[in-house]
Amino acid sequence: MLNAPAPADRVWDQLPREAQTQILDKRLRFYVIDAYRVAGDTELGRRINTIMQTCFFALSGILPIERALAEIKQTIQETYGKWGADTVQKNLAAVDQALAHLHEVRLPDHVTATRAFAPLVPAEAPDLVKTVTALMLAGKGDWLPVSAFPVDGTWPVGTAKWDKRNLAQEIPVWDPAICIQCNKCAMVCPHAAIRAKVYAPAALTGAPSAFKAVDYKAHEFPGFRYTIQVAPEDCTGCNLCVMVCPAKDKSNPKHKAIDMQPQRPLREVERHNYAFFLQLPEADRTAVKQDVKGIQFLEPLFEYSSACPGCGETPYIKLLTQLFGDRALIANATGCSSIYGGNLPTTPYGVNRDGRGPAWSNSLFEDNAEFGFGFRLALDQHSEQARALLSRLAPQLGTTLVDELLQADRHSEAGLAAQRQRVAVLKQTLSALASPEARRLTTLADYLVRKSVWIVGGDGWAYDIGYGGLDHVLAMGQDVNILVLDTEVYSNTGGQQSKATPLGAAAKFATAGKATPKKDLGLLAMTYGTAYVARIAFGGKDTQTARAFQEAESFPGPSLLIAYSPCIAHGYDLKFGLDQQKLAVESGYWPLYRFDPRRLDKGESPLQLDSVPSRSDLIQFMRNETRFRIVEHQDPERFRELVAAAQRHNAYRTALYQQLATVVPSTVARRGERSTSS
Amino acid sequence: MLNAPAPADRVWDQLPREAQTQILDKRLRFYVIDAYRVAGDTELGRRINTIMQTCFFALSGILPIERALAEIKQTIQETYGKWGADTVQKNLAAVDQALAHLHEVRLPDHVTATRAFAPLVPAEAPDLVKTVTALMLAGKGDWLPVSAFPVDGTWPVGTAKWDKRNLAQEIPVWDPAICIQCNKCAMVCPHAAIRAKVYAPAALTGAPSAFKAVDYKAHEFPGFRYTIQVAPEDCTGCNLCVMVCPAKDKSNPKHKAIDMQPQRPLREVERHNYAFFLQLPEADRTAVKQDVKGIQFLEPLFEYSSACPGCGETPYIKLLTQLFGDRALIANATGCSSIYGGNLPTTPYGVNRDGRGPAWSNSLFEDNAEFGFGFRLALDQHSEQARALLSRLAPQLGTTLVDELLQADRHSEAGLAAQRQRVAVLKQTLSALASPEARRLTTLADYLVRKSVWIVGGDGWAYDIGYGGLDHVLAMGQDVNILVLDTEVYSNTGGQQSKATPLGAAAKFATAGKATPKKDLGLLAMTYGTAYVARIAFGGKDTQTARAFQEAESFPGPSLLIAYSPCIAHGYDLKFGLDQQKLAVESGYWPLYRFDPRRLDKGESPLQLDSVPSRSDLIQFMRNETRFRIVEHQDPERFRELVAAAQRHNAYRTALYQQLATVVPSTVARRGERSTSS
């Protein structure tokens, strides 16, 4: 039985030679069903488990079909009953529809295909990917001899791009005529599968005929061309790019600058377009204005991860790599982000054309903050040694070079680029020196370019299991950046409550709905007064997200970003994830703020509120997600009480934050100064 | 060489027989010095190390005496130089004075003593104490055979009272004529070595002639007598009782209701007085008004611990046992409080006349909150089982008894006393029933009286090593009480900085003075909004301390008491500990507050500030303690900067708390209700 969109009388001709041969050799009976169509028709979205299960029982004869159907329907009542009558009805309908769409294929007596299975990885992949990675992707890793692996245990990065998953039924198609060039589609894509570039027209030489380009409209790259390009085989079809697209065709409101269309017919042509797109030159980092739009012209060094379609975490990581990836060290806590971040045999973290990309590692669930803190200490030791050696070798190296290296601007893109050039000159100069100190400085020279330490993990790590360490690292005052991908639940282990789980949400260990409020990690961190803290939601206010990342990275102490991350565990179609983020912010469920201790020096309150609850839609926000709705189905009275408690808690927190944002440090400073003289 | 107050020509006659015999048998040369006098004369307080060291070198001949003195003086410069010239001068003076006060004793040719060494423990001690504990106290525990120990491994409680340490040079003496009967002396005593009682006059029958008593002045026990009594051999001579005493003799301001006098001449008579005092009846708990004064009429079940003289932690623990000790379970984190709390071979935790006292145990440094949380879960299981069995056995037990047991007042002293009586009746009734359920209920019956779970530890535990668990327990919402004895440093391991160490204080790992502010544990706990939180200092405002303990215990969820605890690690004579606590509160260094979520129900802000910074004396507070002053000696400029930073931080925190205390929940609640109807 094959789940395929082709009808029974045409599916045979679409099979590759190997499949046809096996079917005939083994004298199989061959059935086909378009399960995604049935799922779509019965409003189950992409969930085909009920449909395929029904077909299996119909064909296998394990039980009499009437008994099997009765059992399946009984199980549906039991499994989905708590989600409401609607969910039950849809699944029951899918059972009935399934058999109507299951067809036997009449087989010819000989192989008709001329086409073979496509290789699992493309021919242009590196040797190791073809000889090792591809076999592991095919589930045949046990066949590999030890000798096939690199002798030193290294594992190449940026290999997710060779794993062409072709998950999407439909992929986005760009209409340059309508596009307003906001780049939001690229920003929200969880898989870096839709991208934007600006480039000189000359770069279009040799472009495939179907390749789309249009004049770039903004002023900073005059005369340049602009392209939005989809990676057709890496897109997961989550729809977020379409949902975020603000550009509508006035004559046809259903048509936007990005529409979804079936992938299969587009696959080949867009594959070539995407290959051409990738080899186009990257924008000059020093010329790009690093706002929400401009950042999308910076190359993502995190792409095609194995995260779920519509994942709310990965856009933050992608943004991180666009901004700082060429000099980032990432300590990743155990959890979803460590799985899709290092998903053997491929890794989504890659390098740019200069060979620079994030260094990434995963330690334990319970020590990730400390693990990343160690990166910081090691970096500081290395750069101190490099600086000391520079000073000592100044007579041989020339004081101008040494002084420039020691006094370089370490923050701006231009400064970083200039310092990298100086380091190249330094290495060149050092290669002519034979002393042990010169050799030592050669190995340390790269530490003269400022690195960026990122400690990344989910709420299970940050709020619970690793919180003791996270708190300690916040208190240590060192320059590390902490990114909490807050799905408000243990996502990777199957939806257990964490201290980040909100009041009213059902989760494992809180199946009746959590009765206590979400732990306020940001407020906890703010109590130190010495850490940068921001609460962000890219779908709520993307400009605030981008600014918070940049401020956190530039803050010369610990920074904490708490990033709202829609997740399949919340129980709704994640193509609505952006709307839900907006509703979360506007209802006061997820207040946006930035707490920057540097503002104290300017006589301002360190806390800036970036959102004001504008609507009383908390209950609407909650009803949109199964994690809350399930409580209402189980116990409407309890739901009512929990909603009321959540509303009270929200209102109290809003009042609290508004008060905190008014603490006037100027008065404070004056008072402090007076008492100094006592 | 003996350190003794007796002069050389009289010390021989004061030695017991065993000592005289050994000196003569071994043909020893015998020297005497009154090192405490030398220390007093040279303003070294009770520190005799320099003096004894000098004498050792003078007598031992290891080095020529001139060279030894030069080396000692050099070492004094190096060791105490950072504490300032004053400290160096005092120690140098002590070296010179030491030799002038060291005298050889002329020995007779025979033993003259008629007195033998007093037994290490009194004759009235229980057998196990005499046969086991006493040998261990004598440092001869290795001599004990395994058979000497209880076969089931149990260890008796309340045995610290048999370890008569006689540490005090001087002990307090009470003058009933001046005393205003405030009981503050008893409250501040770290060792429960000065106590107050009210009792019917008839109880005085058979009192020793020197026993002091006076009419009780307040109205609640009309016609009763009142006594303040010292435990002469358990007092450590810390002076806190004298310092706190508010009652002065108007004709002689140096004379207070409590004065210090040499212990030796008072020892015998006060020992008898104390023994009589102990057997006087305890006050009726249901009749005592539980305010600061009245609580001192409740028996402490924590006494004579091995804590340092003047310890700032133990008064809180003593208070805890007075209020709740007869039904408390204490989980004790590793640290000072676990050492003096279970200092093999004795324990300071005892039982009252009914055999009731705190159950106490120590687990690991890193899991104490979880450990105590387990007590709570076990108690709840046990009492639920007991209540279920009660209902099931109601036909046999009588519904009146069962209903009263199930619906008892579980909070007031009267309610607890009545419930204990009912439980006694229940046990009596059960003894006539043979069923397994009846036997099971007999073992569980005591759980029908409400227990009180206390999780106790220092700042190293609560702020650092055990914080992850403490945070988790705060979030769990269960009824546990957490007492943090905050010395702001790892006291027991020798003074390493913790996250509780304040800005500006020197500590190990922060020898130049800590540059970051103290972690605000209370504010962290308040962010949950569901925990009772109080910051207390018994020397700052004892009424607030007492109220916070009572509110915490009655709060039906997690409670956190953060208790300021002066410590020898702060580097000043702890007899000034109360003054320093006052200064800490008044300068804003240690703000007092109570955060009670129950107040929200009454439409009030949960946060109540119990102190307002009234003086700008932060720098005075800091200069009084060596931990801060040492920074000034090392680096006056850094000290100035740290003081300014501390003042700014204090002022900011004051403003912050004042804002927090104004968050008006009534507005909040109304806003919440409006949005419920959306």
* Residue A676: pLDDT band with limits 50, 70, 90: very low
Asked whether residue B294 carries a pLDDT value surpassing 60, the answer given is yes
Question: Which pLDDT does position A298 carry in this prediction?
Answer: 98
Could you list the beta-strand ranges (E) of A143-283. Answer: 170-174, 194-199, 214-215, 225-230, 248-249, 252-256, 258-262
- pLDDT above 50 for B574: yes
pLDDT at B347 over 70: yes
**What is the rounded CA–CA span in Å between residue B460 and residue B423?**
41
pLDDT for the residue numbered A667: 46
Contacts of B527 in chain A (CB under 8 A): 519-520, 523-524, 527
Query: Are A618 and B659 in contact (CB < 8 Å)?
Result: no
Confidence at residue A674, expressed as pLDDT on a 0 to 100 scale? 36
What pLDDT is recorded for position B600? Answer: 84
What's the confidence (pLDDT) of residue A672? 37
Tokens representing residue B154 in the block: 């149990």
- Amino acid at site B548: A
Q: Which of B464, B523, B664 sits opposite A527 (nearest CB)?
A: B523
Does the pLDDT at position A304 exceed 80? yes
Q: How confident is the model at residue B674 (pLDDT cuts 50, 70, 90)?
A: very low
* Window 509-568 of B, Cβ < 8 Å to A: 515-517, 519-520, 523-524, 527-530
Neighbours of B84 (CB within 10 A): 15
Most A CBs within 10 Å, among B560, B671, B677, to test the A interface: B671
pLDDT digits (tens, 9 = 90+) for A116-144: 988 888 889 999 999 999 999 999 999 99
How sure is the predictor about A613, in pLDDT bands with cuts at 50, 70 and 90?
A: confident
At residue A598, does pLDDT exceed 90? yes
| pLDDT of res. A664 | 66
Query: Is the separation of the CB atoms in B338 and B364 below 8 Å?
Result: no
DSSP character string of A227-244:
EEEE-TTT-----HHHHH
**Nearest neighbour of B475 by CB, restricted to A516, A643, A676:** A516
Q: What is the mean pLDDT of residues B145-154?
A: 90
- Mutating which of B521, B524, B675, B678 best tests the A interface, going by the most A Cβ atoms within 10 A? B675
Q: Does B32 touch chain A (CB under 8 A)?
A: no
Would the CB atoms of B651 and A668 count as touching at under 8 Å? yes
Band the pLDDT of A155: cuts 50, 70, 90. confident
pLDDT value of residue B672: 37
Nearest to A671 among B643, B651, B662 (CB): B651
pLDDT, tens only, A488-504 = 999 999 899 999 999 99
Q: What's the pLDDT tens digit per position in A54-72?
A: 999 999 999 999 999 999 9
Query: Touching check for B279 and chain A: CB below 8 Å?
Result: no
Q: Is a pLDDT exceeding 60 seen at residue A448?
A: yes
Please compute the mean of the pLDDT values over residues B224-250 and round it to a whole number: 97
Mean pLDDT of B70-97: 91
User: Is the pLDDT confidence value at B670 over 80?
Assistant: no
Give the number of other Cβ atoms within 10 Å of residue B165's Cβ.
14
Of A585-594, B203-212, B596-605, which range is least confident? B596-605
List pLDDT tens digits, range A187-198. 999 999 999 999
The whole-number pLDDT of residue B120 equals 85
Q: Which residues on A lie below 8 Å from B529 (Cβ)?
A: 517, 649, 652
- Report pLDDT for A541: 97
pTM: 0.90
Q: Is the pLDDT of residue A666 over 60?
A: no
Mean pLDDT across chain B, nearest whole number? Answer: 94
| Residues in Cβ contact with A361 at an 8 Å cutoff, skipping those fewer than 6 apart | A330, A331, A332, A371
Instruction: Name the closest residue on chain B to residue A515, using Cα atoms.
Output: B477
pLDDT at residue B361 above 70? yes
B281 at A interface, C-beta within 8 A? no
Both structure tokens of A483? 């990114």
Q: Is A210 on the interface with B (CB under 8 A)?
A: no
Return the exposure string of B304-342: e unless at least 16 CB atoms fall within 10 Å of the residue's CB, then b: bbbbbbbbbbbbbbbbbbbbbbbbbbbbbbbbbbbbbbb
Here the tokens at position A390 are 């520079």
How close, in Å, is residue B53 to chain A by CA atoms?
41
pLDDT digits (tens, 9 = 90+) for B516-555: 999 999 999 998 989 999 999 999 999 999 999 999 999 9
Q: What's the pLDDT score for residue A368?
A: 97
Hey, is the C-beta of B652 within 8 angstroms of any chain A C-beta?
Answer: yes
- Is pLDDT at B407 greater than 60 in this prediction? yes
For chain B, the maximum distance between any two Cα atoms, rounded to a whole number of angstroms, is 103
pLDDT of residue B665: 52
**Structure confidence at residue A665 as a pLDDT band (50, 70, 90):** low
Q: Which amino acid is at A138?
A: A
What secondary structure does DSSP assign to B510-537, as a single string?
A: BTT---SPPP-HHHHHHTTSSSEEEEE-
pLDDT at residue A678 is higher than 90: no
Give the pLDDT confidence of A386-442 residue by residue, as tens digits: 999 999 999 999 999 999 999 999 999 999 999 999 999 999 999 999 999 999 999
Question: Does pLDDT of B84 surpass 60?
Answer: yes
A-contacting residues in B 215-254 (Cβ below 8 Å) = none
8 Å CB contact between B373 and B183: no
Confidence of residue A670 (pLDDT cuts 50, 70, 90): very low
* Least Cα separation, residue B522 to chain A (angstroms): 10
| pLDDT band for position B669 (cuts 50, 70, 90) | very low
- Judged by CB atoms closer than 8 Å, whether chains meet at B651 and A660 is answered as no
Of the candidates A643, A669, A678, which has its C-beta nearest B676's C-beta? A643
Residue B678 has pLDDT above 50, yes or no: no
Q: What percent of chain A has pLDDT over 90?
A: 88
Q: How far apart, in whole angstroms, are the C-alpha atoms of residue B354 and residue B364? A: 31
On whether any CB of chain B is under 8 Å from the CB of A26, the answer is: no
pLDDT at A662: 86
Q: Which two tokens stand for residue A417?
A: 């680029």
